[in-house]
Chain A
Amino acid sequence: MTPPVLSIDGLTVDFRTSDGTVVPAVRDVSLDVGAGEIVAVVGESGSGKSVTAMSVLGLLPPNARTAGSIRLAGTELVGADAARLASVRGRRVAMVFQDPFGSLDPVFTVGFQIREVLRRHRPEMSAAQRRSRAVDLLRLVDVPEPESRVRAYPHQLSGGQAQRVVIAMALACDPEVLIADEPTTALDVTVQREILDVLLRLRDTAGVAVLLITHDMGVVADVADRVVVMRHGAVVETQDVGPLFATPRATYTRELLAAVPRLEAAHRPDPEAAEAVLTVEGLVVEYQRRRRTTRAVDGVDLHIASGSVLALVGESGSGKSTIGKAVTGLAPVHSGSVVVDGVDAVDSPRRTLRALRRRIGVVFQNPLGALDPRHTIGEAVGEPLRVHRRMRGTALDRRVGELLDAVELPGPWAGRFPHELSGGQRQRVAIARAIALDPVLLVADEPTSALDVSVQATVLDLFRHIQRELRFACLFISHDLAVVDELADRVAVLHRGRLVETGPRVDVLTRPAEDYTRRLLEAAPVPDPARSRRAAARLAG
């Protein structure tokens, strides 16, 4: 084996907080990345994977203390001075971040930003050379029509194109190492697939060493050569990708793999037929901004029977969240009808609408954002009861206790504030509040996509359990087909505001009738290197 390009040995990072305590972030981490190799660092939030990546470029905040050794082809980077780091950053080690629009300056064209990197690191190039190099770089990362896109501003690009531009900028100086921190997390699955293809091709043709930071086992299975599993700041296991999935050595790796939702489309008993709780017919939602009208939802029909779960899937911009908002009265309905439990949810007097809202529970994606930071979780769960049921005193406390109990949180936690809870616990609070008024319909908008996989698994379990017990109808909005497979009875696929396909879960997920559904299913990352590589090979062949 060739000597590694990037070699991290015994890396330890501590953060000193303002009150003098030392918080260890990374403990004794060692890993090597060779030329032409993709090494994935996986772990859940707080595992220290991003801190490890940042320390390579010395990008940690000033209160961090770093020990150990990071060698880039012989150059020591731990404790290096500003000059040496500057000679490495962007030139020999380049970084790609999660949010492409956050990484690009909105007031300059993408070509200017690529040329800026070249001006800084390749001062010997002439202006004309820089211009042609920028176009070449965009072509390298498969940006369509690079000659004209070089003059585009970031907001004129799609998310996938913007991330390609960011990768092109990173590649401007032919770096030896590319560090990609969750490069596809903010992107849709079909776009994710394309970006991963670009990374694979760079590895094969340019021989770049890639350190890929991710939480997604599907991405790991798809592109990684070797995998480093991290937990609580330490390396749990390092293996080649095949053996890691086939025979994981560490217990934690096994747990992590078991928690990853898989698209298996296994048969489950259908819920018995019941009358429809939610009926959406010909729904059109239009947003007006100045003189322009955007049609977010265009003629959608949906039915959910009581006690069953309808999953609404689609990529970003497909209008799936807008439908959820229209049902809960948070989006302007242009035409069409939404009937919840026999009540028209669009054209009713305000009083009727308010009464209707009490019977619709809502769970949002970001559990921290959905809870008022100034209210304890007891107040948050109790507020709907206080307002709508006029519950007070011990009756209220008892009901809040029951609800917290139902979501498996200890009753005495009622006095805690949202920031004192973990993401999964917060989402449990949000669920408790949503079911406080015994809703007939629950709208859940990506309730688990902000959570780590192991937490996601437990929250999904809880969700399913509560749904079976309380038998409410549920509109479950998600982009993750594997999650949908675990939870839904019926699936509706949306694309650009229109319904592409709707039907029973097993039918849609195994025998899709439409091309778009098929593409979506093919792009979904599979946490199994054998299967996903086969798929890749089939694509290539």
Chain B
Amino acid sequence: MSEHIVATEAPAVAARGVWATVRRRPLFWTSLAALGVLLVVAAFPGPIAALLGQPDPRACDLSLSGQPPGDGHPFGTDIQGCDVLANVLFGTRTSLFIGLTTTALCLLVALVLGTVAGYFGGPADRVIARLTDVFLGFPFLLGAIVVLNSAPERTPLLVAVVLAFFSWPTLARLVRGSVRSVREAEFVQAAHALGFSHGRIVLGHVLPNSLGPVLAIATTMVGGVIVAESTLTFLGVGLVQPTISWGLQLSTAQTYFQTAPHTLIFPSLFLTVTVVSLIMLGDILRDALDPKGRS
């Protein structure tokens, strides 16, 4: 038998850590670079806007309302005569903050509740399933309007928390289903039979194997959240002026799409780049964390 094994032995195993794998993927660097630029913009919108023409997003000139891209205004001006580029740059911080914070909060709640429901099942599962039903059945806009209207001050953090409050159930259901299917796997049974504790089994075996689809949905969720913020803002219960966000710009611009399309196109472009980069990064990380995708 030993000859048999030696005969089938593969060539020396190369180092195949997560880092060694992602390093070789050009898409990894592309998406990382795009997100890096967005983060720098979010940190220092002023100096960058100054470099590209208009440093102040609130220095508006109504006589230049709805100008197409041109001298001094590389992205043109919006309906109030404000520089679109400056607004997009200054909106990056708020929008990224809301998108990422909401998703992170959702993920946290969904992972905890979904794992408890999926792994332990029984009464815990039934309670959590009914809870998600309540949240899913509750009209999101109505709930958001009630909560946000009763808040004394509507900061981006509050908006993020409210958005997360109403969007975790779908993710929690996904986690629950994913965990349930892994829970039935033989290696989880084997871990039970070896006398491992629940904590060890959940953190060491169940969660790593059920995260794949959850992360894929979570990365696409960021874009959805940024747009949802704009919906709330459009209805007058989201962010308030003078806050600047992509969502605000998009909701203003949609009315004037035919006369000033650039006011819609440029913020959407930034939103798209953000979402696509996150999705690509998520995909690459998922592949790299799966040993089968690595070798």
Contact = CB atoms under 8 A, between A and B. Distances in A.
B209 A374 contact: yes
B146 interface: no
Contacts of A410: 5-6, 9
Interface of A: 328-330, 353-358, 360, 362, 364-366, 369-374, 376, 383-384, 387-388, 408-410, 412, 415-417, 419-420, 422, 425, 430, 433, 437, 443, 458, 461-462
B195 A357 contact: yes
A355 B10 CA distance: 39
A357 B201 CA distance: 15
Interface of B: 1-2, 4-6, 8-10, 13, 185-187, 189-197, 200, 204-205, 208-209, 289-292, 295
Contact of B189 (A330, A384, A388): A330
Contacts of A462: 1
12 contacts: A328-B192, A358-B194, A360-B193, A370-B186, A372-B205, A373-B291, A387-B196, A388-B194, A430-B190, A433-B194, A437-B194, A458-B4
Given A415-B13, A417-B292, A417-B295, A371 B187 contact: yes
Contacts of B8: 422
Given A328-B193, A330-B192, A373 B209 contact: yes
Contacts of A357: 193-195
A373 B191 CA distance: 13
A417 B13 CA distance: 11
B208 A374 contact: yes
A387 B200 contact: yes
B187 A369 contact: yes
Nearest to A363: B190
Nearest to B192: A330
Contacts of A383: 191, 194, 196, 204
Contacts of A422: 8
A358 B187 contact: no
B13 A416 contact: yes
A372 B209 contact: yes
A456 to B, nearest CB: 12
Contacts of B10: 420
A365 B186 CA distance: 9
A358 B195 contact: yes
Contacts of B295: 417, 420
A364 B186 contact: yes
Residue from B6, B196, B200 having most chain A Cβ neighbours under 10 A: B196
Contacts of B192: 328-330
Given A362-B193, A383-B194, A410-B5, 5 more contacts: A362-B194, A370-B187, A371-B187, A374-B208, A433-B190
Given A408-B5, A416-B13, A366 B291 contact: no
B13 to A, nearest CB: 6
Residue from B1, B192, B193, B291 having most chain A Cβ neighbours under 10 A: B193
